[in-house]
Amino acid sequence: MMAREKVQIKKIDNATARRVTFSKRRRGLFKKAEELSVLCDADVAVILFSSNDKLFHYSSSSMEVVLERRSLHSKNLEKLNQPSLELQLVEDANYANLSKEVAERTLQLRQLRGEELQGLSIEELHHLERLLESGLSRVVAKKGEVILNEINHLQEKEVKLMEENDKLRQELLMISNSWKQPIGDSGGDDGESSDQSTDICNPDGPPQDYESSGTSLKLGLPYSG
């Protein structure tokens, strides 16, 4: 089954074909509007003007009622989109007050920095001086608090380092003691071996007759020590 060729939407140049197409499409549009009204319980109104300025219209109910509802709906939308005059005045007043307060605060900050002091009276200058003194005292107090906190932190860090240092010193001392070898006293066995060594090497001991013993062995005579 071949697919239906899609019709390109553009103006129909032939006047006769254009009138025929308008008539067919108008009846189809009104039919769809009627179906939409019945299926969805909606008020539908369609107004058409042909190329020769001929009027065609369809309405599921009274055309006047539908047009009146449309006009009322548009007016309500305009009211919702446009703020009331009273609300606009309140917003303008709030904006003016905020702008004035911002300007005053900005000028005060400049004067606290020593700028735009021209035209100030003695009382205004005294008031500005008191503000500066009060602010300076708060800054000095905050600075002292920060310094004290830093000192406490450093002291705590020092205590921890000293504890770690003592712990390392004890560990090194234990390792050093484990490396040392115990020294024992000389016993009797060592003395005896020493004496034996002394006897062997002592030249004052009894001489041994190596020559006679050797002669006896050569002659086969019995050796008497």
Mean pLDDT of the chain: 77
Instruction: State the Cα–Cα distance between residues 7 and 9, nearest whole angstrom.
Output: 6
Q: Are 134 and 170 in the same domain?
A: yes
**Residue type at position 88:** Q
Average pLDDT over residues 114-127: 84
Average pLDDT over residues 113-118: 82
Q: How many domains does the chain have?
A: 3
Q: Are 27 and 75 in the same domain?
A: yes
Confidence of residue 190 (pLDDT cuts 50, 70, 90): very low
Residue with tokens 């020593």: 114
Average pLDDT over residues 121-144: 87
Q: Are 19 and 40 in the same domain?
A: yes
Please check whether residue 111 is in contact with residue 117, taking contact to mean a CB–CB distance below 8 angstroms. Answer: yes
Is 211 domain-assigned? no
Q: Please give the share of the chain, as a percent, with pLDDT higher than 90.
A: 23
How confident is the model at residue 162, as a pLDDT?
94
Q: Please give the share of the chain, as a percent, with pLDDT higher than 70.
A: 71
pLDDT in tens, 139-188: 899 999 999 999 999 999 999 999 999 999 998 888 888 886 555 544 44
Q: Are 128 and 149 in the same domain?
A: yes
The domain boundary residue, chosen from 176, 201, 218 = 176
Is 182 domain-assigned? no
Residue 45: phi and psi, rounded to 5, are: -135, 130
Is 207 domain-assigned? no
Q: Are 127 and 163 in the same domain?
A: yes
Is 67 domain-assigned? yes
Helix and strand numbers (H, E) in the chain are 6, 2
DSSP class of 82: S
How confident is the model at residue 92, as a pLDDT?
78
Q: Are 126 and 169 in the same domain?
A: yes
Is 25 domain-assigned? yes
Point out the least confidently predicted range of 25-34, 72-81, 120-129, 141-150.
72-81
Q: Are 105 and 135 in the same domain?
A: no
Please check whether residue 77 is in contact with residue 83, taking contact to mean a CB–CB distance below 8 angstroms. Answer: no
Residue 46's DSSP bridge partners are: 58
Instruction: State the Cα–Cα distance between residues 153 and 146, nearest whole angstrom.
Output: 11
Residue among 24, 44, 21, 41 at smallest CA distance from 33: 44
Q: What is the pTM of this model?
A: 0.33
Q: Are 22 and 73 in the same domain?
A: yes
Alpha helices (H) in 61-187, listed in sequence order: 63-81, 85-112, 122-179
Domain that holds residue 70: 15-82
Q: How far is CA 19 from CA 6, 52, 79, 82, 144, in A?
A: 21, 10, 42, 44, 95
